[in-house]
Copies of this chain bind each other. A is one copy, B any other.
Amino acid sequence: MADEERLARAALTRVLEPGDEAGGQWLRSYGASGLIQRLKEGGELFPRVTSARREGLRGRAVAARPERDLEQARAARARFVCPGDPEWPAQLDDLGHARPIGLWIRGQASLRLWALRSVAVVGSRACTEYGAQMAARLGAGLAERGWVVVSGGAYGVDGAGHRGVLGAGGATVAVLASGVDVPYPRGHHRLLDRIAEQGLLVGELPPGDHPTAYRFIQRNRVIAALTRGTVVVEAACRSGALVTARRAQSLGRHTIGVPGPATSGLSDGVHQLLRGEGVLVTSAAEVVELVGAIGDLAPERRGPVVPRDLLGPQAARVLAVLPATGALTVRDIAHGAATTPDDAVGSLYELQSLGFVERHGDGWQLTRQTTQTVFSSNERW
């Protein structure tokens, strides 16, 4: 994507609210630079909007300072990824006109690769002890099976899920309704920093921007679209987690729920889901059984999906550490590749998405296909 277009998209993340479908249509009609220009001039737009709204957008467009935002992002070690970029997760295109304009990302790994093998674990902020326990257990269990866990970084189920993954040396993505440099909720300041190190922080809002109720709802569509399925762990009947689950369903993703006592109001929403299209699960193994049904076997059968030569230098170093047979821990792999465990985790989950390696419990090993194709050739390793 041309620098001018990228800059215009960065500006648009400050002008248009996430999920604005009219905005998505304008973007397609006029291109990013054309649209930002038109918005600054207060010109006519199709589909039309009220002149008051046009005036509001003009004010935002004139005030936007995308160079400064990109600079601020760099300072926070964040990057801005646009549709068409190598790191862009193609599944977000399923959102149509509501596709994000771009994503602000903090963290080492490739969002695109991680999202290929990802599941959302979401639920109530005010969850019970049981809900927190189940979220943590699922997070850890999914991590140990080599799956990336996506959630919203909120209190309650989200936080417990993220923590379960981090504790198991796994890969987790927090999709925020604010700038990726804005620690929200404040009480999760350290957790979010930790996710930025071992995982990824992702959001549609530019640096410094704050969440609103509307942005929380729109954030849910990104979680639903990024992942292969959404697992709801405790949710009251009108909760945001249910919005995510229903969005997942309408996008053709798996909709999954963890049952609880019929007497618990915090399980009411989940049970409602399970009485409809949702599938009941009680363990990470059952989640993987569902979401892994197709894609999980495919890479195994056809082996690595990209040539080793196309891997980034860090991923290639990590891959080179793994022996022909047997497994290593993240710690050993990091040592062997002369990198940190956090970076090693990032690369390992990327390599897993590509079919080179697989995780079993705490051990990482080459897939059988990698061993066969690489070690049977005379290729220098």
Contact = CB atoms under 8 A, between A and B. Distances in A.
Interface of A: 130, 133-134, 258-263, 267-268, 271, 274-275, 279-283, 286
A256 B349 CA distance: 40
Nearest to A289: B275
A275 B267 contact: no
12 contacts: A134-B262, A134-B263, A258-B262, A259-B260, A259-B261, A259-B267, A259-B274, A259-B280, A262-B281, A262-B282, A271-B282, A280-B280
Most chain B beta-carbon neighbours within 10 Å: one of A263, A281, A282, A286? A282
Nearest to A259: B259
B258 A260 contact: no
Contacts of A268: 282
Nearest to A268: B282
B271 A275 contact: no
A130 B261 contact: yes
A262 B259 contact: yes
Count of this chain's copies in the oligomeric assembly: 2
A188 B259 CA distance: 32
Given A258-B262, A260-B261, A262-B282, 9 more contacts: A133-B263, A134-B262, A259-B261, A261-B261, A262-B283, A271-B280, A271-B282, A275-B279, A275-B280
A280 to B, nearest CB: 5
Nearest to A273: B280
Contacts of A286: 275
Nearest to A282: B262
Nearest to A286: B275
A281 to B, nearest CB: 8
Contacts of A275: 279-281, 286
Nearest to A267: B259
A61 to B, nearest CB: 49
Contacts of A258: 262
A261 B137 CA distance: 13
A207 B259 CA distance: 44
A259 B266 CA distance: 13
A263 B274 CA distance: 18
Contacts of A281: 262, 275
Contacts of A271: 259, 280, 282
Contacts of A279: 275
A258 B259 CA distance: 9
A272 to B, nearest CB: 9
Residue among A134, A267, A280, A281 facing the most chain B CB atoms (10 A cut-off): A280
A376 B133 CA distance: 63
Given A274-B274, A279-B275, A130 B267 contact: no
Contacts of A259: 259-262, 267, 271, 274, 280
Which of A260, A267, A286 counts the most B-chain CB atoms under 10 A from its CB? Answer: A260
Nearest to A270: B259
Contacts of A134: 262-263
Contacts of A283: 262
A133 B282 CA distance: 22
Contacts of A262: 134, 258-260, 281-283
A258 B286 CA distance: 19
Contacts of A274: 259, 274, 280
A277 to B, nearest CB: 12
A263 B280 CA distance: 13
A83 B163 CA distance: 63
The 10 closest A-B pairs by CB, nearest first: A259-B259, A262-B282, A274-B280, A271-B282, A275-B280, A258-B262, A130-B261, A260-B261, A134-B262, A271-B280
